Amino acid sequence: MERRIAAILAADMVGFSRLVEADEIGTLERQKAYRHDLIDPLIGQFQGQVVKLTGDGLIAEFSSVVAAVQFALTLQRQVTAREQGQPEDRRIRYRLAVNLGDVIFDEGDVYGDGVNIAARMEEMAEPGGIVVSGTVFDLLKSNVDAHYEPLGEKRLKNIATPVRVYRVVPGLAQGGARPEKARRRWPLLAVFCGAATAMAISLWVIYAALAGKPADLAPGKPSLAVLPLDNLSGDPSQDWFADGLSEDLTTDLSRHPGLFVIARNSAFASAETARDPVEVARMLKVAYVIEGSVRRVGETLRINVQLVDAGTGGHVWAERYDGTPEDVLAFMDGVSDAVLGALDLADPQNGKTVSTGETGNARAFDAFLEGWGHYKQSTPTGLQAAIPLFERALELDPDYGRAHAALAATYFAAWERFRAADLGYDMEQRRALMVLSERYLEKALLHPTGLAHQVAAQIHRLNGRQKDMLRSAQAAVALEPGDPEGHAVLSFALVLDGRAAEGLEAIETAMAIEPLYPPNYLLAKGIALFQLGRYEEAVEALERTRARDPVNQGGPLYWLAAAYGQLDRQDEANAARVANRTRTTVDGLKLYLPFRRAEDWNRLAEGLRKAGYQ
């Protein structure tokens, strides 16, 4: 039994019985799809985990109230968008409630006032709405882009004292804030060492304790994060353009060997957690941040960009662009060079890696950015929407290597995730997705990008070509050293090559570039530690992987069972094996793990057999 203060979210489907009565099979299939494709992945990526299922609802625990409310806002927005095509009386809606309180975890169950209050409050939420307790409100206030309407003190069943309840309304934070931006499916900073700490001190004190003053992440190099440019167009559908410009600038700046640039996902997620750019810089421990805004109305475009010194809060450099989308590429190139110059990086092009996979066609760039925004959602509908936009980019510029690479990545993702039906293919035609991926990859490698080499590396691995995988991963990092995904792919390639120590170094580099790293980085670290024989450390990393990603458990559980097996912790090894629903044999796994050295495979196989695998 464990008792602690926890951030708890209660969720329940509105009118479940009515929907089942009207269409039992259809409703159950839609609910199952929501859990698998949206709810569970979002919970994991917002630092949460499902702790209890309640029929047509669930209870989840999050690392912080900020993460819980941001998950709730993201979920409600995406569910609303998905249900637009359904008749009004058939639409799925959820009620959500967030509370911070005393919770007891006992043998797979969870209970206590912290849970009871969340469950009782959930009944007060409107269909598609969110409510939070006064305790949560006191910690949030203006730290999430939303408005809070007080509903007063409410007496809840079996709760001794009245509870203050607030309705969460998406939009501007109280007291004025940045315009609401679409939340992304990326993990947020685990700013709380534990939820109990949140009861004792305020959110900003925690940030300060974590961050302190900006750190020198790379000795001898200035460190920088590019925050998402605010979309001031008054049209949320233009978020992809503002975000795409920010990501493109991140990619360009990260190619300079004299500059350390935080990856896009961490910069974006941190900007959603804290509104002040200096505070974001302190959270990410960088010396500088780039912020700005984009206003696009028809063919009129205005972009403001500023370089901010995190130590003083002052602007080191600022520029404004007024023109049309046709000239945006030249302007953004100028921004990159000006930032490097302002940071006293002499001769900005000296030593900077250059990708030949970019475009000089502004319309192609525009189409690519919109497609990339859909692709990054990592959902079936996102993949569907991305393909025609990438194809449009290639119609405008047939040599656009990054668009070819994006299509290769899209079809590979659809193949890997068994999404053939989502793209109009029968499961029997799944192989066609890989054929399309390889076809676009062939063209992408004529004008290479880091993304193209990453896709190539993954395909080489599946085909058992370990040496080719390593070469492609090394090429990805050489071309785009600031992309953490390249370092993550390189890590696994090095482990398969029998160079686990270098693999560990590569994944730790990825984690430094992407401080809010996704769960699969922890998996890669656990694998490297396992192959180094550091089984206790491997267990710690792999258990954290499972906690961070409650949906994709198969891979971590194999390695976890093997690590427990090598430690002769038989009960835990058996538990990991039994929990793994993606069961296969030891020899079956070997097909997916082309180790160069027999002793590396034997280490894993021995651990798996000790855990009871055949």
pLDDT at 67: 87
Residues 380-389, mean pLDDT to the nearest whole number: 85
Average pLDDT, rounded, for the chain: 81
Beta strand spans in 219-335 (E): 223-226, 230-231, 260-261, 288-297, 300-309, 315-323
Query: What whole-number distance in Å separates Cα of residue 556 and Cα of residue 544?
Result: 10
pLDDT at 210: 34
Q: Which residues contact 536 (CB under 8 A, 6 or more apart)?
A: 567
What's the CATH fold of domain 212-342?
Answer: Rossmann fold (3.40.50)
Residue 9 has pLDDT above 60, yes or no: yes
pLDDT at 569: 94
Phi, psi values for residue 283, rounded to 5°:
-60, -45
Count H helices, E strands: the chain? 26, 14
Residue 215 has pLDDT above 50, yes or no: no
Residues 555-578, mean pLDDT to the nearest whole number: 92
Residues 321-338, mean pLDDT to the nearest whole number: 80
Q: Specify the CATH class of 2-200 in words.
A: alpha beta
Q: Which residues contact 553 (CB under 8 A, 6 or more apart)?
A: 546, 579, 580, 581, 582
Q: Comparing 115-129, 134-148, 386-400, 585-599, which segment has the lowest mean pLDDT?
A: 134-148
Listed in order, the ranges of the chain carrying CATH 1.25.40.10 are: 518-614
pLDDT tens digits, 583-612: 678 888 887 888 999 999 999 999 999 999
Of residues 11, 414, 379, the one with CA closest to residue 185: 379
Say if residue 551 is exposed, middle or buried (CB neighbours under 10 Å; 0-12, 13-18, 19+).
middle
Query: What whole-number distance in Å separates Cα of residue 480 and Cα of residue 473?
Result: 11
CATH assignment of 518-614, among 1.25.40.10, 1.10.10.10, 1.20.1740.10, 1.25.10.10: 1.25.40.10
pLDDT tens digits, 278-312: 888 888 888 888 988 888 877 888 888 888 888 88
Residues 170-193, mean pLDDT to the nearest whole number: 35
Listed in order, the ranges of the chain carrying CATH 3.30.70.1230 are: 2-200
Phi, psi values for residue 382, rounded to 5°:
-65, -45
Query: What whole-number distance in Å separates Cα of residue 130 and Cα of residue 79?
Result: 13
For residue 21, what are its two tokens? 């009565």
Residue 486 has pLDDT above 50, yes or no: yes
Phi, psi values for residue 585, rounded to 5°:
-90, 170
**Ramachandran area for residue 157 (φ above 0: left; ψ -120 to 50: alpha; else beta):** beta
What share of residues in the chain are helix, strand, coil (percent, to 5)? 55, 15, 30
Q: pLDDT above 90 covers what percent of the chain?
A: 29
Q: Which residue type is seen at 384?
A: Q
Pairing of strands 223-226, 260-261: parallel
